Amino acid sequence: MPPNSALSENDRILVRVWIDQGAKNTVCTPPPNTGGTTGGTTGGGSTGLKSDAVCFQRDILPILLSSCGTTGCHNQASAREGYVTVSYASVMANMVNPGSPNSSRLYTVVANNNMPPSSYAKLTQASKDSIYNWIKNGALNSVCTSNCDTLTTVTYANQISTLMSLNCVSCHSGSSAQKGIMLDTYANVKTYLDNGKLLSAVKGTSIQMPPGYKITSCELRQLDLWKANGGKQN
In-domain check, residue 186: yes
Highest mean pLDDT among 74-83, 104-113, 120-129: 104-113
In-domain check, residue 15: no
Highest mean pLDDT among 25-29, 124-128, 194-198: 194-198
219 & 181 share domain: yes
In tens, the pLDDT along 12-69 reads: 777 877 787 778 887 655 433 333 333 333 333 333 344 357 888 878 888 888 778 7
Residues 91 and 110 sit within 8 Å (Cβ to Cβ): no
191 & 221 share domain: yes
115 & 179 share domain: no
Give mean pLDDT, residues 178-191: 92
pLDDT at 143 over 70: yes
Question: What is the band of 11 on the pLDDT scale with cuts at 50, 70, 90?
Answer: confident
Distance CA 128, CA 111 (A): 6
132 & 161 share domain: no
> Which residue type is seen at 91?
V
Residue 37 is predicted with a pLDDT of 36
129 & 160 share domain: no
Q: What are φ and ψ of residue 41, in 5° steps?
A: -95, 180
Residues 168 and 209 sit within 8 Å (Cβ to Cβ): yes
Question: What is the band of 72 on the pLDDT scale with cuts at 50, 70, 90?
Answer: low
**pLDDT, the chain, mean:** 80
In-domain check, residue 116: yes
In-domain check, residue 43: no
Residues 170 and 121 sit within 8 Å (Cβ to Cβ): yes
215 & 182 share domain: yes
Residues 38 and 55 sit within 8 Å (Cβ to Cβ): yes
Residue 119 is predicted with a pLDDT of 65
At residue 10's C-alpha, the angle toward residues 6 and 16, to 5°, is: 90
Residue 123 is predicted with a pLDDT of 83
Give mean pLDDT, residues 225-232: 92
Distance CA 202, CA 211 (A): 9
Q: Give me the domain span that covers residue 195.
A: 156-228
128 & 162 share domain: no
At residue 22's C-alpha, the angle toward residues 19 and 24, to 5°, is: 95
Distance CA 198, CA 220 (A): 11
In-domain check, residue 39: no
Domains in the chain, number: 2
168 & 98 share domain: no
160 & 223 share domain: yes
Residues 90 and 96 sit within 8 Å (Cβ to Cβ): no
Please choose, from the candidates 129, 135, 52, the residue with its C-alpha nearest in 3D space to the C-alpha of residue 91.
135
Residues 144 and 28 sit within 8 Å (Cβ to Cβ): no
